[in-house]
Amino acid sequence: LKGRKDLVMGGNEGRGVREWEGRRWIRREGGMCYFHWDLWLNMMGMMRDNGIYYYWNVGCRYVYDKGGVKYI
């Protein structure tokens, strides 16, 4: 949705998730994500039938790879 050198905001639906221990699953609901280069965290919002659920991930800075954003 928005991208610049220090900020990425995006949305997706039905994306694959790989957990740190290797477990994989598909997030079925739509989601919004916010990444900021200066902050070692990112915010996710999952849109479900009964509301929006937010959570923060603490991790490494994001990187662009093959037209997408990768993060840990």
* DSSP type of residue 59: -
Interval 25-71: pLDDT, tens: 887 788 888 988 888 888 888 888 899 888 888 888 888 888 778 87
The whole-angstrom separation of Cα 36 and Cα 40 is: 8
Residue 9 pLDDT: 87
Residue 42 pLDDT: 87
CA 10, distance to chain mean position in Å, is 8
Q: What is the pLDDT confidence band of residue 20, given thresholds at 50, 70 and 90?
A: confident
pTM across the whole model: 0.65
Q: What stretches of 1-72 adopt beta strand conformation (E)?
A: 2-4, 7-18, 24-36, 41-48, 51-58, 63-65, 68-70
Dihedrals phi, psi of 61, to nearest 5 degrees: -65, 155
